[in-house]
Amino acid sequence: MLFGIEKILRSQCRVASGSRLLVAVSGGADSVALLSLLRKVALGYPLELFVAHLDHGMRPESEQDAAFVRRLCEQWDVPFYGSQCNVPALAQEKHLGLEEAAREARKDFLEKTASETACEVIALGHHRDDQAETVLHRLLRGTALPGLAAMQFRSGMYIRPLLYFDRAEIREYVAAQGLMFVEDASNADRRFTRNRIRHELLPVLQTFNPRVADHLVRLAGRIGEEEDYWQQETEKAFQQSGTLVSGRIRFDRRKLLELHPALRMRVLRRGLALLLGTVQGISARNLQDIEDQVLSSNPQTDIAGPQGWSCRRYETLWLGREPLCADRLPEFFIGGPGVYPLSTMGVLRVSLENAPRGEGQGAVEFDASRVPFPLKVRSWVAGDRFRPSGMSGHKKLKDYFVDKKIPREIRSRIPIVEASEILWLVGLRRCEGFRPVSGCCVWFSRGKNV
């Protein structure tokens, strides 16, 4: 195993000579074997080793495990960094399962310790059997294809030098070296999904094929190689179809529809990962729901997912942590000529003219004798109707907005100028009638600023 570990460190884990390496050691056989092997290669490589141990506070004997790892580090002259976390309390506080809370606490602790010790790499003791269990776990949970690539020899600053070896090989090494280790009783606790996979599901599958674990590991390896290619294609497609805007991801639906479904799903996953900062918790079901939004004949849909919010607004798809905001324009009255702020919509200029000036883009005018002050400016409400210019009869504002494909959130921000009836949807459409022929008129124009 010693020669294999050194080769894996160089080629698969891409650990440079002279690296400072933080080793996560629980005290179990796998992590003790990992530390032992790394110590043997450290001098010639060379590597500078540090050990991190987190007491999860989930078992009465966990303090003894921490003491064991500390003594082992003293014996082997490796700097030890330990901490304690009440994982059950953390799980309750953050509404997480125990496994997820433990994983989050461990990740935070390891990365903080790596920063404090200036370690470039964090070594984990995951092995070949862990890989098979991870593939099954993700299949059961419902994952997209990239999730089946499972664990890699190197993911960012994390490395897994034992990923090539199975549990039996590691136990043989531990026995041959006469290494002491501690048994974690929680590894037999069937309340945890991974333990049920290890002790119940895998043994059943092995009755169908004794080498099922090897096949699962090879499957993960093949998918991992293919994902390296797909990541490049996904990044190119994402740059062409998606944009990060004020903490949200905005997709051009038309460009998404041009993509092959397999690539489109990866682009959506890339958007979620960019938004959330992680791929953890993004399931195949989440992605399929968003894909259905893209393909739907319904132009405006909203989905509140476990990791955020997705909404379709005609030819735009938005991903965000919270729903789009539908702020309403503060209602106010126009008492006479002047300049009136329209919140984030600029300003409304109002003047009295002795004769018609003519209408243009963003400007309208009305017969002053038929449109007396004060005039009301407000947002639309359900049931509003108006007489669009050039049309006979009334039309519901909702139907007008739908015809113009105006997203829901934009509708409430559009100022409405109202007298005895709606005169103007500012910047969009004036009403039929009230046009000045001669004499005094009220002239409106919308501007960006005062």
**Is residue 352 pLDDT above 60, yes or no?**
yes
**Is residue 189 pLDDT above 70, yes or no?**
yes
Average pLDDT, the chain: 90
Q: Identify the structural domains of the chain with CATH numbers, from first to last.
A: 2-125+161-208 (3.40.50.620), 237-320 (3.30.465.60), 332-447 (3.50.40.10)
Q: How confident is the model at residue 192 (pLDDT cuts 50, 70, 90)?
A: confident
Average pLDDT over residues 173-185: 90
**Is residue 430 pLDDT above 70, yes or no?**
yes
pLDDT tens digits, 10-45: 999 999 999 999 999 999 999 999 999 999 999 899
pLDDT score for 425? 93
Q: How confident is the model at residue 245 (pLDDT cuts 50, 70, 90)?
A: confident
Say if residues 443 and 345 touch (Cβ distance below 8 Å): no
Q: How confident is the model at residue 254 (pLDDT cuts 50, 70, 90)?
A: very high
Give me the phi and psi of 196, to 5 degrees please.
Answer: -65, -35
Q: How confident is the model at residue 450 (pLDDT cuts 50, 70, 90)?
A: very low
Q: How confident is the model at residue 449 (pLDDT cuts 50, 70, 90)?
A: low
Q: How confident is the model at residue 432 (pLDDT cuts 50, 70, 90)?
A: very high
Q: How confident is the model at residue 302 (pLDDT cuts 50, 70, 90)?
A: confident
